[in-house]
Amino acid sequence: MTRKPAIDRAFCMHCGACVGACPENALSLEEVWIEFLSNCTNCGICARACPSGAIFMEGGK
């Protein structure tokens, strides 16, 4: 199984850092929540970019 990004919504500050950092434009900041879109390539840049630690990589090795 591939490692893919997940979000702990309790940590999310709805800032959009992950959206602008995503090279595929595969996240979207709805008014106060983040959506992962189907064109995500699981590159993990959003998890590194998230300033508050809401996004992390899960599964796989």
Partner 1 sequence: MSRDRTVDVLVVGAGPAGSVTAKHAAKNGARTLMIEKRQEIGSPVRCGEGIARAWLDELGIVPDKRWISHQVSGARVISPAGHVVTLTEKMAGNEVGYVIERDNFDRMLAEEAAAAGAEVMVKTSAVEVLRSGGRIAGVRAKHMGQTFDIRAKVVIAADGFESQLGRWAGIDTSLKPSDINVCFEYTLKHVDIDPRYNDFYVGSCAPGGYVWVFIKGPDSANVGIGVQLSKIKPGERGAAKRYLDAFIAKHPNLSKGSPIREVAGAVSCCQPLDSVAADGIMLVGDAARQIDPLTGGGVANSCRAGKVAGEVAARAVSSGDTSKEFFQAYEKGWRAKFEDQMYRNWMAKEKLVTLDDATFDKACEVLAEAELEVVNTLEILRLIQRKYPELIKEFEDLIK
Nearest approach, Cβ of residue 24 and partner 1 (Å): 8
Tell me: does residue 57 bind partner 1 (CB under 8 A).
yes
Determine if 51 is a binding residue for partner 1 (CB under 8 A): yes
Contact 16, 29 (CB under 8 A): yes
Distances in whole angstroms, Cα of residue 10 to Cα of each of 13, 38, 60: 8, 23, 23
The interface with partner 1 within residues 4-33 (CB under 8 A) comprises 11, 13-17, 19-21, 23, 25, 28-31
Write out the residues near partner 1 by the rule CB under 8 A.
11, 13-17, 19-21, 23, 25, 28-31, 44-45, 47-54, 56-57
